[in-house]
Structure 1
């Protein structure tokens, strides 16, 4: 009978990733000593079982199956150290007993997942017209009067003492309960389980032919009644007939505790893998050991937690368990105790405990002997040579590209991003704006193993695969900006061999694209790429020529493109003007830093020849045209005046004259407000602080806006001034409040405030001299007379 040694196959129904089940499985196997161990899992993985004895294979790990012709189609079978299936595999290897997997082959699973949409053909239990899937644990917990399946499982299984006399008793009880559920609900809304169980029965029959009844089966408790069911071989084979099939490869891959949680999408996941791992590994006094770990974590985060806190938390957890009628404190009781005693009732530090300990960031390891695609092996070699170890916990990596090791790390991470393997995400560098520094946020997720297998179609090494992928992306790119961004990524990834194909695509699209907006979007990425030549040692001559050609075309087409625009299009064009201005500035820096090695001059289409050095002068001419043309949108005209002012091309008087014209009574208030937004928007507050004439013009115009138009321009002005820092807004308000002057002549109006006089105040300056001498150590007794009085 089920669960009785010597009376038929030993069917050990378990909960996946349950530490109590894992301990019970080991006890039952030690007592029964079966000749063969069968485990729920894909049979193609039988050849991978011996690797579980390798000391370099450290759980959590997972069996990864992927379709050979379509690596992105994949499936995982995770194992933790406290998984009953892993315990069974390890027991079989330690005792020299064959261990085999008996679930539906991965070849069918992968093909089935692709052909059957989720939910198609599923049998369900109907409740008030709704179709639901049965959760066995929830049903049993509800029958026992529990509202939480996790708490019921802890009380019934996890808190059982290790000294049970009959190691088979818990499996018999669980099998009986599952049998009652299967009688009532059938497949429980899981029609695929019927096919899986037919294959399990066939594999069980084959094992019994070899070993008789000395066979142990470790599977989900839900399947035990089906394995006990008396069916014919013909009926089981009929269920398996005609199943779709693909060619599949399997291997071991690292897994994480976080991916064992339900939130990962894995159906047999658990809520608290870190807690379950602790229960499995704790030899005794699990509550005391757990709360000690919590105290250590909180101390590491600079919270004051003493031994007395731990003692009181243990007492409170025991008391809560007694009040709630539980045999031992569970996760709920320990969490409540930690919140009350160690966290002062706050859930903020408790969230850290949940993330770091209850769930955890443990990452498994897989030995080199595990099967892997060539790309995976090359990636592992690169990681080791660059001392860049994958970690489950997110960390920040600062790189200095002037060093060979950091430069190699940067190239590897950028190449992986080209391949769609998002191990690292670039972020803003702190404390430096130079191109020789990079900041990355690294975090290795198990799904990246699938991405590596999927990217294996591009090549056998990371460099070769990234190059092939870049060339393919260049040929398939539809927008000019996509190609320029790809060129930038190729330079970042150190792939000069891919640049010819990318440059051909870039040249072709640039020649055909006549949209100034598209050209303006493409130029910044192209110009940024020129800055990597010095740091990364990459030749950028071809990029310089294309960038100069794009810039010339933008200069010609931009003024006509800025006319007859609505408000949204004008705002978008202002962004293009800013981007081109920044790009032209970088082009000028590239020309200045070339040291005589600047690219060859480029024809500008008018018979004249211009190099990078003349682009800034040509661009200023375009800005002058935009600033003085009435048909150009107000926000663009205002921006052009602002950029010219920043460049020193316009004196304060000329900028004030242009502003006065834009804010004259004949200009519609909406157009005037747009001009102001273009001029002082995006950090222009300090310009108004230091130029009182401009502030006076804005103030006078605003006070004279008609009441009926004020409500129309107010949202635009609020958006403009809300972007300023609070200190700038406060200073502007003080200047306006204290201002005085001739309001009849806005250009001549001056805002005079204390500290903002027309000239220096010698008397006030002399007052600080004694203090300065005291600070500098040059003070005399005479000079200190009156200080502090």
Structure 2
């Protein structure tokens, strides 16, 4: 085939370490004047960069169409690739290098732009019966052609200049390929005398190289036609090189093409094959590549199952098994696995023994893996997954020198990566950001801008370090395809900021959905794009004014409110967003009750999710508007019976208590009045907005005809925010679970009220009246309806934690509270035995005072604490800084830890306040601020203060005795 006057045709398997060593040995022996390599000729000007110290494989040549960057192809090079070995040998020896494959201009023009690059399972593979290596493997007694190739070529020792003729293996391989091409009908006598064929092995000739994309859907006929064109062009380039450099040249190409290049064909015949090929304008550049991408069979992957193992075979030809198992042991020790030197010795012996038993010349990856599993991993595959991830595949990421051609956008991105110290890495890692720091804030803006451009270098994940809005956690991993995404994004601008701004403005105009626009506004704030916000806000305001779908408005509000709040953290002016968010909230308030009527089960579940989202958004919008929380909010139910006295709210004016007049509710009505309708005034401050939202929830909770899940959820939101007393909640539950309610509707109410995780379960644990209602309803469900409501109930209660479910079961087993003795001090406490040991309970008070930073009251019997300073600041001390009043009775009981005291430290001159905002006249304060009354002062009354929700006040029992 070759001789002194003929080119040296070196047929290789792409990305084969044995082939790479053989190519290097052959080049050392024949010393050619030029080296021709299978690859796009447009890359010839980029060859010199391979010798740059800053170039570190794996790398790839990227060709793309400037007007359509999505049409791209890669030619990857690993450190163990024969083409890379030939390239570096030529540059090290000052020898000319040329690429001779079909130009990328034709390659991309012939590619179907609608077809995504995908190799399928084995990528580029021809029909199963057309695998030429299978015939050679079968003749050698191998069932697996890949295993035969590794034993015959990749694991072959020796072969250098001192070990015989370095060209002999290539001549033998060329002869075998010639016979295979003839046997499969691709020889010179077939048709036009030129034929293509399937690639070497089951990966096609490209093997992730040459075209960089698969043609599994094109079929074998298209593969043949493509190879005919490629081989014709290779012959033409070979003739040109012989005229320029003489016959002392070497050609490194896929072994399947060697017989075609040795054929005697006329120049006219080859040009005729190339005549009329489509052509596009292309640009080429070097880009980093990864071992992970080499290991993939789909997309632009090379389909190499073990690039890390191949790299080890290439760089450690001496005693590869021993060195490999030493690497494995070191990795396992770093991960705290108990692996010693004895493990390595025994694993080496076992691998060699397995290779001998299996008739292999050298222990391969299968033998070493089996040895690691048996000796180092105790038969477990769990540590093997780590070995495969870190060593068999590897996390290598190539590097490109600064002098390499690149788009302005890529150069700006590279500059930002260096400035912000965000190094692209192939291994996945989490990056914790603190937005209060300038560098971390700039990193966050960069990552958000890249996501907006479709460059998914990082994705946000839930932060583990804290729940503050100033924290972000990103999961980063650089993939080679991101180079294509950067090329595509270059059409929007020359810098990351300019490109992201242009992309956001274009997307705003093209986005029809209101939720999409609010999400885009949020992303613009996160990305720090103030120039794009005016356009986005203008489109958002126009769409919001025309949108009448309450579900769409509710879906859009949360993202907009988050933008308003997080804009403060990022020091971004979000005033315009706040105005739009407030307008959206008012429209949701007005339209939500009507939108919840007449919904089926699925629509009701979706609307319930919107209800939760809007509730959270209103809270965020209020927090963004002011630093304080609303005043007393316990004004939901109707007036309680006159025989009860609810705990006073913390914001009651002293004058109201002194005169005995009732305090007005937050909407300007008496707390004992029926629930008011929605206020007509849609304006107002954040407190008014909270009032109006509470009114909406009140309407949803009490209106008949609405789905049970929505009514139950609204009641639960009111109860959580202290807008609803527990008695009122029990009353609503009793109505929802009454005999006149359909079982399915009642189960839906329970799911809405008690769903959303373990919080609903804890509510039942601490309020046995609600638990008794649920228990009684469940017992009374007719047998015919029980199976229909069981899935809803199971879905609700299965969300509770195991301990919560166990406690509920124990409470149900003990029976309802009504069945227990009603003797004070003798009834069972929740989760405890009969009776409360007051001495043991009192023993924790000193520790509790210390934890809260309080001092015991020297004037009381273990029942109070110094709180606040002059004027009732902090948690609500008296005006003179004295102690809060304590209700008589059980040791350690505290009567409303945050109740506003009178000037003398008492709880009010002549009356105790009701929880609904009114004061009950006639109740008098005892000596020293001890409240006494002949009525019932419920100890479970929740209150709200300027500081937020606070513990309930403990009062007197019905007979006046303290509890």
Report the TM-score when normalising by structure 1. 0.92
**1 CA distance for matches of 2:287 and 2:848?**
68
Match of 1:782 in 2: none
Q: 142, 145, 163: which one pairs with 1:146?
A: 142
- Please identify, of 725-734 and 107-116, the stretch whose mean Cα deviation from structure 2 is larger: 107-116
Match of 2:290 in 1: 256
Question: Any idea what the Cα deviations from partners look like across 1:27-79, whole Å, max 9, x if unmatched?
Answer: 11111111111000000000000111101011110000001110111000000
- Please identify, of 762-771 and 41-50, the stretch whose mean Cα deviation from structure 2 is larger: 762-771
Superposed counterparts of 1:464-503, under 5 Å: 464-503=498-537
**2 CA distance for matches of 1:594 and 1:447?**
49
Match of 2:728 in 1: 654
**1 CA distance for matches of 2:116 and 2:494?**
34
CA 527–708 in structure 1, closer or farther in 2 if over 3 Å, else same: same
**1 CA distance for matches of 2:418 and 2:846?**
63
> How far apart are 1:135 and its partner, in Å?
3.2
Q: Is the contact between residue 738 and residue 752 of structure 1 (CA under 8 Å) also seen in structure 2? A: no
2:744 maps to 1:670:
yes
Q: Counterpart of 2:507 in 1: which secondary structure?
A: helix
> How far apart are 1:7 and its partner, in Å?
3.5
Q: Counterpart of 2:9 in 1: which secondary structure?
A: strand
**1 CA distance for matches of 2:70 and 2:177?**
36
**2 CA distance for matches of 1:423 and 1:338?**
34
Match of 2:407 in 1: 373
2:574 maps to 1:561:
no
**2 CA distance for matches of 1:740 and 1:696?**
6
Q: Is the contact between residue 415 and residue 493 of structure 1 (CA under 8 Å) also seen in structure 2? A: yes
**1 CA distance for matches of 2:273 and 2:532?**
52
Q: Is the contact between residue 481 and residue 522 of structure 1 (CA under 8 Å) also seen in structure 2? A: yes
Q: Counterpart of 2:6 in 1: which secondary structure?
A: coil
Q: Is the contact between residue 548 and residue 611 of structure 1 (CA under 8 Å) also seen in structure 2? A: no
CA 267–393 in structure 1, closer or farther in 2 if over 3 Å, else same: closer
CA 360–328 in structure 1, closer or farther in 2 if over 3 Å, else same: same
Q: 146, 150, 157: which one pairs with 2:153?
A: 157
**1 CA distance for matches of 2:842 and 2:745?**
48
Stretches of structure 2 lacking an aligned partner (at least 5 in a row): 118-124, 187-195, 198-219, 630-677, 821-825, 850-963
Q: 764, 783, 791: which one pairs with 1:688?
A: 764
CA 605–650 in structure 1, closer or farther in 2 if over 3 Å, else same: closer
CA 753–72 in structure 1, closer or farther in 2 if over 3 Å, else same: same
> How far apart are 1:769 and its partner, in Å?
9.8
Q: Is the contact between residue 111 and residue 244 of structure 1 (CA under 8 Å) also seen in structure 2? A: yes
**1 CA distance for matches of 2:130 and 2:61?**
26
Q: Is the contact between residue 112 and residue 244 of structure 1 (CA under 8 Å) also seen in structure 2? A: yes
Q: 761, 774, 780: which one pairs with 1:698?
A: 774
Q: Is the contact between residue 55 and residue 399 of structure 2 (CA under 8 Å) also seen in structure 1? A: yes
Q: Is the contact between residue 60 and residue 255 of structure 1 (CA under 8 Å) also seen in structure 2? A: yes
Q: Is the contact between residue 635 and residue 679 of structure 1 (CA under 8 Å) also seen in structure 2? A: yes
Q: Counterpart of 2:433 in 1: which secondary structure?
A: strand
Q: 570, 577, 592: which one pairs with 1:543?
A: 577
**2 CA distance for matches of 1:206 and 1:751?**
103
> How far apart are 1:263 and its partner, in Å?
3.1
> How far apart are 1:740 and its partner, in Å?
4.0
CA 755–733 in structure 1, closer or farther in 2 if over 3 Å, else same: closer
Q: Is the contact between residue 432 and residue 473 of structure 2 (CA under 8 Å) also seen in structure 1? A: yes
> How far apart are 1:531 and its partner, in Å?
1.5
**1 CA distance for matches of 2:300 and 2:252?**
20
Match of 1:781 in 2: none
Q: Counterpart of 1:114 in 2: which secondary structure?
A: coil
- Higher helix share goes to which structure? 1
> How far apart are 1:161 and its partner, in Å?
2.1
2:436 maps to 1:402:
yes
2:713 maps to 1:642:
no
Match of 1:459 in 2: 493
Q: Is the contact between residue 493 and residue 502 of structure 2 (CA under 8 Å) also seen in structure 1? A: yes
Match of 2:55 in 1: 57
Match of 1:201 in 2: 235
- Please identify, of 333-342 and 152-161, the stretch whose mean Cα deviation from structure 2 is larger: 152-161
2:35 maps to 1:76:
no
2:403 maps to 1:329:
no
Q: 9, 17, 20: which one pairs with 1:19?
A: 17
Match of 1:182 in 2: 181
Q: Counterpart of 2:338 in 1: which secondary structure?
A: coil
Specify the structure having the higher radius of gyration (Cα): 2
Match of 1:587 in 2: 621
2:354 maps to 1:358:
no
**2 CA distance for matches of 1:485 and 1:93?**
52
Q: Counterpart of 2:532 in 1: which secondary structure?
A: helix
CA 350–117 in structure 1, closer or farther in 2 if over 3 Å, else same: closer
Match of 2:655 in 1: none
Q: How many residues get paired?
A: 750
Question: Any idea what the Cα deviations from partners look like across 1:9-29, whole Å, max 9, x if unmatched?
Answer: 110000001111111111111
**1 CA distance for matches of 2:694 and 2:680?**
18
Match of 1:506 in 2: 540
Q: Is the contact between residue 457 and residue 478 of structure 2 (CA under 8 Å) also seen in structure 1? A: yes
**2 CA distance for matches of 1:89 and 1:708?**
80
CA 181–455 in structure 1, closer or farther in 2 if over 3 Å, else same: same
Q: Is the contact between residue 739 and residue 752 of structure 1 (CA under 8 Å) also seen in structure 2? A: no
Match of 2:464 in 1: 430
> How far apart are 1:534 and its partner, in Å?
2.4
**1 CA distance for matches of 2:747 and 2:776?**
13
**1 CA distance for matches of 2:167 and 2:230?**
25
Q: Counterpart of 1:501 in 2: which secondary structure?
A: helix
**1 CA distance for matches of 2:412 and 2:436?**
24
Q: 765, 773, 797: which one pairs with 1:721?
A: 797
> How far apart are 1:533 and its partner, in Å?
2.5
Q: 712, 722, 725: which one pairs with 2:788?
A: 712
> How far apart are 1:340 and its partner, in Å?
1.1
**1 CA distance for matches of 2:256 and 2:296?**
18
> How far apart are 1:114 and its partner, in Å?
2.2
**1 CA distance for matches of 2:425 and 2:397?**
7
Match of 2:64 in 1: 66
Question: Any idea what the Cα deviations from partners look like across 1:470-529, whole Å, max 9, x if unmatched?
Answer: 101111111100000000001110111110010011101111110000000000000011
Question: Any idea what the Cα deviations from partners look like across 1:200-230, whole Å, max 9, x if unmatched?
Answer: 0010011111122111100000110111111
Q: Is the contact between residue 768 and residue 816 of structure 2 (CA under 8 Å) also seen in structure 1? A: no
> How far apart are 1:159 and its partner, in Å?
2.3
CA 261–610 in structure 1, closer or farther in 2 if over 3 Å, else same: same
Question: Any idea what the Cα deviations from partners look like across 1:428-450, whole Å, max 9, x if unmatched?
Answer: 01131111100010000000001
**1 CA distance for matches of 2:843 and 2:499?**
71
**2 CA distance for matches of 1:495 and 1:415?**
8
**2 CA distance for matches of 1:74 and 1:593?**
53
Q: Is the contact between residue 43 and residue 101 of structure 1 (CA under 8 Å) also seen in structure 2? A: yes
CA-atom RMSD, angstroms?
2.5
CA 533–769 in structure 1, closer or farther in 2 if over 3 Å, else same: closer
> How far apart are 1:613 and its partner, in Å?
3.7
Match of 1:87 in 2: 85
Stretches of structure 1 lacking an aligned partner (at least 5 in a row): 120-126, 596-603, 745-749, 774-789
Superposed counterparts of 1:741-756, under 5 Å: 742=818, 755=831
Q: 592, 610, 613: which one pairs with 2:684?
A: 610
Q: Counterpart of 1:425 in 2: which secondary structure?
A: strand
Report the TM-score when normalising by structure 2. 0.75
> How far apart are 1:608 and its partner, in Å?
5.1
**2 CA distance for matches of 1:109 and 1:768?**
80
Match of 1:100 in 2: 98
Match of 1:137 in 2: 133
**2 CA distance for matches of 1:347 and 1:551?**
54
**2 CA distance for matches of 1:484 and 1:730?**
43
- Please identify, of 179-188 and 249-258, the stretch whose mean Cα deviation from structure 2 is larger: 179-188
Q: Counterpart of 2:297 in 1: which secondary structure?
A: helix
> How far apart are 1:768 and its partner, in Å?
8.2
CA 755–178 in structure 1, closer or farther in 2 if over 3 Å, else same: closer
> How far apart are 1:751 and its partner, in Å?
9.7
**1 CA distance for matches of 2:181 and 2:845?**
93
**2 CA distance for matches of 1:116 and 1:768?**
72
Q: Counterpart of 1:701 in 2: which secondary structure?
A: helix
